Amino acid sequence: MSNIRQAPTAVRHLAPGERIEAHRHDDHQIVHAGSGVLAVTTDAGTWFAPGTRALWIPAGTVHAHRAYGTLDLHLVGLPAHDNPLGLTTPTALAVGPLLRELIRACAEEPDDGGPERARLLAVLRDRLRTSPHHPHLLPTPTDPRLAAVCDLVHADPADPRTLARLATATGTGERTLSRLFRTDLGMTFPQWRTQSRLYHALRMLADGEPVTAVAHACGWASASAFVDVFRRAFGTTPGQHGRAASGRSEEVK
- Pairing mode, strands 137-139 and 45-49: antiparallel
183 Cα distance to chain centroid: 22
Cβ pair 107, 8 in contact under 8 A: no
Cβ pair 45, 138 in contact under 8 A: yes
Domain boundaries, the chain: 10-137, 141-246
pLDDT in tens, 71-127: 889 999 999 999 999 999 899 999 999 999 999 999 988 777 788 899 999 999 999
pLDDT in tens, 43-59: 889 998 888 899 999 99
Q: Pick the closest to residue 215 from 175, 253, 247 (CA basis).
A: 253
Fold of 141-246: Arc Repressor Mutant, subunit A (1.10.10)
Please list the pLDDT of the chain residue by residue as tens digits (253 residues).
555 555 678 888 999 999 999 999 999 999 999 888 999 999 889 998 888 899 999 999 999 999 998 888 999 999 999 999 999 989 999 999 999 999 999 998 877 778 889 999 999 999 999 999 887 889 999 999 999 999 999 999 999 999 999 999 999 999 999 999 999 999 999 999 999 999 999 999 988 899 999 999 999 999 999 999 999 998 889 988 877 665 544 333 3
CATH code for the structural domain at 10-137: 2.60.120.810
Helix (H) or strand (E) holding 35: strand 28-42
Cβ pair 36, 90 in contact under 8 A: no
